[in-house]
Amino acid sequence: MSKVVGIDLGTTNSLVAYANGGAPAVITDESGDTLLPSIVSIDALDTIYVGREAQRRLLTDSARTVYSVKRFMGRGIEDVKDEERWFPFKVSGEAGGVVHIHLGDRELTPPELSGFILRELKRRAEAFFMKEGDFDPEVVAAVITVPAYFNDAQRTATRDAGRLAGLEVLRIINEPTAACLAYGLDKRREGIIAVYDLGGGTFDISILKVEEGVFQVLSTNGDTHLGGDDIDRVLVEIVAADLGLDPATQADAVQAVRKAVIQAKWDLSEFDETHVELSQGPGCTTPYRRRLTRAEFESLIEPIVARTLQPCRRALEDAGLEPGQVADVVLVGGSTRIPMVRREVERLFGKTPHTDLNPDEVVAVGAAVQADILVSGRREMLLLDVTPLSLGIETMGGIVSKIILRNSTIPASGSEMFTTFVDSQTAVDIHILQGEREMATDNRSLGRFKLRGIPPMPAGLPRIQVRFQIDANGILSVSAHELRTGIEQAIEVKPSYGLTDEEVERMLIASFEHAQEDINARMLIELRNEAETIVAATEKTLRRPDFAGIAAALLKANEVVTIHAALTDLKQAMGTDDRDAIQVKTGVLNQATHHLAEVMMNWTVQAALAGRTADDVAAQGR
Amino acid sequence: MQPDTSAIPIEPCKHCGTDAPVDVHFCPRCDRILTLGRHGDYFTFFGLHRRLRVDIKDLEQRFRALSRQFHPDYFHNASTTERLASLERSSYLNDAFRTLRDPLARLEYLLKLEGFKPKESRDASATVPQGLLEEVFELNEELEAIQDIRADGAPADAIAERLDAARRPIEANLAEHERQLDALMATHDARFDAGAAEGRHATLAQLRTLLLERTYLTNLLATVRRELNGGGAASS
């Protein structure tokens, strides 16, 4: 039987997982990576790169490389104007329409770009099944996760991306809910569970009640434009100002800065201080090094962390609960590795959050579990999610009349009666909105619908019942009847910020024309990935604040020099297309760091056992 | 138990044509999920009597059990008709649960089912219920007085103190309404169990008056609260 997988389509990284009645597991690529960087690059020859190779091209060909595309899904140009300046790619679009992202001379929509990422995950999963000797390795369908606070347009864009990747999207599920499913399955816990999900670009909080295998979401809240990206940008702005960089003309240099500050951000989850380091390159005439302490970092990100707390309080209020009634708090998303985030969550809920499940993988695992439920029809577990935002229509005076309230369990439906204002009127315009505000203009426009074919009658006589149905994916459909005649009304939909079916069809055809697989290119990419992994690990060790002490005490005299030389050599080889050189020099660095890795491992074990600091251990070694 | 004198509406199963009562969820003959009947109500859908006091634990359990029967997750490979039936039945179940789990929403719903008009108009809250005329008059006078002293620059805690004083009788009245609603709901259920249709109808009429007054009192308190948070402008 062909396969149905679970996919976490993230802002920063994407993953694919699979469950076959048994334990769900994340599928790795050929080099053992679980995370696929959500980055797409298209070179001048129209070759499409996805993942780590695209990530490298961010430093060399940033104008043809796009990251964080999820932030653009289902959004309009007016939503992204503020942050556009820091992205290396250019965006355009008409007000109220789909954003177009420029990669060289090509213009692509966010669903197409996300489609490339999904297609790469599909390929990864199929390669895995093939290697397992599966008779039918083809992946035809998927459950894809989205932030709980995604609106209808953002969900629909995600579904379109799946179609463009050649996947039937069996279900769109919410990321925190998926995480809770994985968590609940793992821990067999019942009661009230809060899931705090701070990812690369989005923030969600969901409050669930788990009982008798039913995972019922009580309330959800969040911000679809808040995450690790915002933290990175704060740091990039500081370093870019130090270097006097202009993002408009020095995009490649800004990307190098971005890479360096992300590294420093990660370091600070482990250490009290680190350095942002940039080697000489475009926009950076001398090597740059800036000390960054955890305290300084925390004061910089405090406003971002604070923005997550208000949605948490609102979600609790909507669920009618006090923080003390929450039995377990689960952390999801890479940004929850930041100690300050953990501390603030702990303070709000008054209990230590669970961190034992990998916050990067738990969502994909949950999606795989849901995929398995859909395919097998097994009923032990059931997810009951809610719609995050109220759905309404614009009435006289631009006021919104709500039809389905936020936090309603889905599927949910509602209906509203319409009539005509003038004699023999045969059509009525309806404007559908999502959001909590009074005035239509303050809410998200989902689309405009035209009811046609109303039988000519005196004004006010027709009774047109319009039915709004939100399905289990959180996606809206609309139908209408004229009750006096029983005539089904034709509905014309013009989605705001979305693609029409015809547009998706056309893109589907276009994407086939550009699909190409080059085995040699892929091998080069794999070698570079492997090289990059060891380079990153080595550099991280060298940057440790306590490294000098450890080296002096435990390493041989010329060892550090040898490692630096091997590192420089390999980085130089990675810049070329010479497969043999990359392979050989990866081996050399591996050899050079063999003893260092052993020393670090022993040191970590000893320090953990004795609870001592590096200096103590180093002193002992002396 | 109240005898049900009305005929039970029937709809044929779209799959095998067997006649099935509209509030049966699955076809008695072919066992397929039935399209949603048009004549049912939230109570019968859950297999409950039209009583106002509901055991929430029991309701939640029924909700979970029915969700496990209807949810679209389980009709993934079924025919289009069954998929649609599952979607509609699940939506209806979710609406029903949301309404019945909340005592006041439940009461409002039962009143509508029993033929009481919910509210005269959108501005029902603007017309003062008869029983509250005196109270509302006094409060409005006091609020005007407070607005005057605020305009004259009275200290914030003096204003807060007067607002608190103005709020207390309304809160007491609201608590009294809650108590009476509770008692009347119990009366209603007792009359329902005894099959006393007329007495039950009279109780419902009383409940309706109390409910409208209660809504009005809640709105009044919201007004006072807004005044407390800096006066006048609606904050939400």
Write the DSSP assignment of A104-149 as a string of letters.
TTEEE-HHHHHHHHHHHHHHHHHHHHHHTT-S---EEEEEEEE-TT
Residue of B nearest to A410 (CA): B91
Chain-chain contact of B68 with A214 (C-beta, under 8 angstroms): yes
**Three-class secondary structure assignment of A354-402:** ECCCCCCCHHHHHHHHHHHHHHHCCCCCEEECECCCCEEEECHHHEEEE
Count Cβ atoms below 10 Å from residue A92 Cβ, excluding itself: 11
Count Cβ atoms below 10 Å from residue B24 Cβ, excluding itself: 16
Chain-chain contact of A471 with B88 (C-beta, under 8 angstroms): no
Which of A370, A383, A308, A372 lies closest to A338, judged by CA? A308
Residue type (1 letter), B191: R
Chain-chain contact of A411 with B72 (C-beta, under 8 angstroms): yes
Partners of residue A373 in chain B, C-beta under 8 Å:
73
Q: What is the mean pLDDT of residues A366-395?
A: 90
B201 vs B191: CA distance, rounded Å: 9
Q: Note the pLDDT of residue B143.
A: 82
Chain-chain contact of B68 with A383 (C-beta, under 8 angstroms): no
Asked if A1 is an interface residue toward chain B (Cβ–Cβ < 8 A), one would say no
Residue of A nearest to B73 (CA): A374
Instruction: Please check the confidence at residue A538 and state whether its pLDDT lies above 60.
Output: yes
Q: Note the pLDDT of residue A265.
A: 95
Which of A341, A443, A438, A430 lies closest to A393, judged by CA? A430
Chain-chain contact of B74 with A377 (C-beta, under 8 angstroms): yes
- With a CB cutoff of 8 Å and minimum separation 6, the contacts of A594 are none
A192 vs A210: CA distance, rounded Å: 6
Q: What is the mean pLDDT of residues A261-288?
A: 86
A499 vs A493: CA distance, rounded Å: 11
Tokens 């420029």: give the residue: A102
Chain-chain contact of A374 with B90 (C-beta, under 8 angstroms): no
Q: Is B25 strand, coil or helix?
A: coil
Chain-chain contact of B73 with A375 (C-beta, under 8 angstroms): no
Tokens 């091998």: give the residue: A523
Task: Give the gap in angstroms from C-alpha B3 to the nearest C-alpha of chain A.
Answer: 32
Q: Note the pLDDT of residue B233.
A: 40
Question: ipTM higher than 0.85?
Answer: no
Under 8 Å CB pairs connecting chains A and B tally to 54
Residue of B nearest to A216 (CA): B64
User: CA torsion sign, A274 to A279 to A282 to A288?
Assistant: positive
Within the 367-426 window of chain A, which residues sit less than 8 Å (CB to CB) from chain B? 373-375, 377, 379, 382-384, 408-413
Partners of residue B77 in chain A, C-beta under 8 Å:
377
Asked if A486 is an interface residue toward chain B (Cβ–Cβ < 8 A), one would say no
B123 vs A350: CA distance, rounded Å: 43
pLDDT tens, position by position, A474-525: 998 888 888 888 777 766 666 777 777 778 777 776 665 555 556 677 788 8
Chain-chain contact of A377 with B72 (C-beta, under 8 angstroms): no
Partners of residue B94 in chain A, C-beta under 8 Å:
408-412
Partners of residue B62 in chain A, C-beta under 8 Å:
none
Chain-chain contact of B76 with A413 (C-beta, under 8 angstroms): no
Chain-chain contact of B91 with A170 (C-beta, under 8 angstroms): no
How long, in residues, is chain B?
A: 236
pLDDT tens, position by position, A295-335: 999 999 999 999 999 999 999 999 999 999 999 999 999 99
Backbone φ, ψ for residue A15 (5° rounding) = -140, 160
pLDDT tens, position by position, A580-616: 999 999 999 999 998 998 888 888 888 777 765 555 5
Within the 75-104 window of chain B, which residues sit less than 8 Å (CB to CB) from chain A? 76-77, 87-88, 90-92, 94-95, 97-98
Least trusted range by pLDDT, from A159-168, A427-436, B142-151: B142-151
Instruction: Please check the confidence at residue A362 and state whether its pLDDT lies above 70.
Output: yes
Q: Note the pLDDT of residue A518.
A: 64
Which of A255, A260, A259, A254 lies closest to A289, judged by CA? A260
Asked if B72 is an interface residue toward chain A (Cβ–Cβ < 8 A), one would say yes
B106 vs A570: CA distance, rounded Å: 71
Residue of A nearest to B89 (CA): A411
Asked if A614 is an interface residue toward chain B (Cβ–Cβ < 8 A), one would say no
Q: What is the mean pLDDT of residues A274-288?
A: 81
Count Cβ atoms below 10 Å from residue B59 Cβ, excluding itself: 17
**Interstrand relation of A428-434 and A444-452 (parallel, antiparallel or unpaired):** antiparallel
Q: Is B134 strand, coil or helix?
A: helix
Chosen for mutation from B91, B92, B235 (greatest number of chain A CBs closer than 10 Å) is B91
Chain-chain contact of B94 with A212 (C-beta, under 8 angstroms): no
Residue of B nearest to A412 (CA): B91
Residue A115's pLDDT band (boundaries 50, 70, 90)?
very high
Task: Give the gap in angstroms from C-alpha B198 to the nearest C-alpha of chain A.
Answer: 33
Q: Note the pLDDT of residue B235.
A: 34
Question: Do A433 and A443 form a contact (C-beta atoms < 8 A)?
Answer: yes
Question: Do A170 and A143 form a contact (C-beta atoms < 8 A)?
Answer: yes
Q: Note the pLDDT of residue B8.
A: 67
Question: Do A374 and A171 form a contact (C-beta atoms < 8 A)?
Answer: yes
Residue of B nearest to A468 (CA): B91
Partner-chain residue, chosen from B67, B76, B94, that has the shortest CB–CB distance to A408? B94
Residues of A annotated as part of the active site:
8, 70, 175, 197
Chain-chain contact of B67 with A212 (C-beta, under 8 angstroms): no
Asked if B105 is an interface residue toward chain A (Cβ–Cβ < 8 A), one would say no
Task: Give the gap in angstroms from C-alpha A44 to the nearest C-alpha of chain B.
Answer: 43
Backbone φ, ψ for residue A171 (5° rounding) = -165, 140
Chain-chain contact of A382 with B72 (C-beta, under 8 angstroms): no
Backbone φ, ψ for residue A359 (5° rounding) = -65, -15
What b-and-e string marks burial along B126-164, b requiring 16 or more CB atoms within 10 Å of the CB?
Answer: eebbeebeebeeebeebbeebeeebeeeeeeeebeebbe
Partner-chain residue, chosen from B73, B74, B94, that has the shortest CB–CB distance to A409? B94
User: Based on C-alpha coordinates, what's the Rg of chain A?
Assistant: 26
Residue A568's pLDDT band (boundaries 50, 70, 90)?
very high
Partners of residue A383 in chain B, C-beta under 8 Å:
73
Which of A334, A473, A357, A347 lies closest to A410, judged by CA? A473
A498 vs A446: CA distance, rounded Å: 9
Chain-chain contact of A413 with B74 (C-beta, under 8 angstroms): no
- Reported in sequence order, the residue ranges of A199-287 that DSSP labels E, i.e. its strands, are 203-211, 214-223, 273-278
pLDDT tens, position by position, A441-471: 888 888 888 888 888 889 888 888 888 999 9
Q: pLDDT tens per residue, chain B (236 residues)?
A: 444 445 667 788 888 888 887 778 888 888 888 888 765 789 999 999 999 999 999 999 999 999 999 899 989 888 988 999 999 999 999 999 999 999 999 999 999 999 887 665 445 556 677 777 788 888 888 888 888 888 888 787 888 888 888 888 888 888 999 999 999 999 999 999 998 888 899 999 999 989 988 988 888 888 877 777 765 443 33
Within the 52-71 window of chain B, which residues sit less than 8 Å (CB to CB) from chain A? 60-61, 64, 67-68, 71
Residue of A nearest to B97 (CA): A409
A411 vs B94: CA distance, rounded Å: 7
Tokens 């009305």: give the residue: B6
Partners of residue A191 in chain B, C-beta under 8 Å:
none
Note if the bond before A353 is cis, omega within 30 degrees. no
Residue type (1 letter), A264: A
Residue A267's pLDDT band (boundaries 50, 70, 90)?
very high
Chosen for mutation from A215, A378, A384, A405 (greatest number of chain B CBs closer than 10 Å) is A384
Chosen for mutation from B58, B77, B94 (greatest number of chain A CBs closer than 10 Å) is B94
**Token pair recorded at residue A583:** 């392979």
Partners of residue A410 in chain B, C-beta under 8 Å:
94
pTM: predicted TM-score of the whole model, two decimal places = 0.84
Task: Give the gap in angstroms from C-alpha A214 to the nearest C-alpha of chain B.
Answer: 7
Chain-chain contact of A373 with B88 (C-beta, under 8 angstroms): no
Chain-chain contact of A382 with B88 (C-beta, under 8 angstroms): no
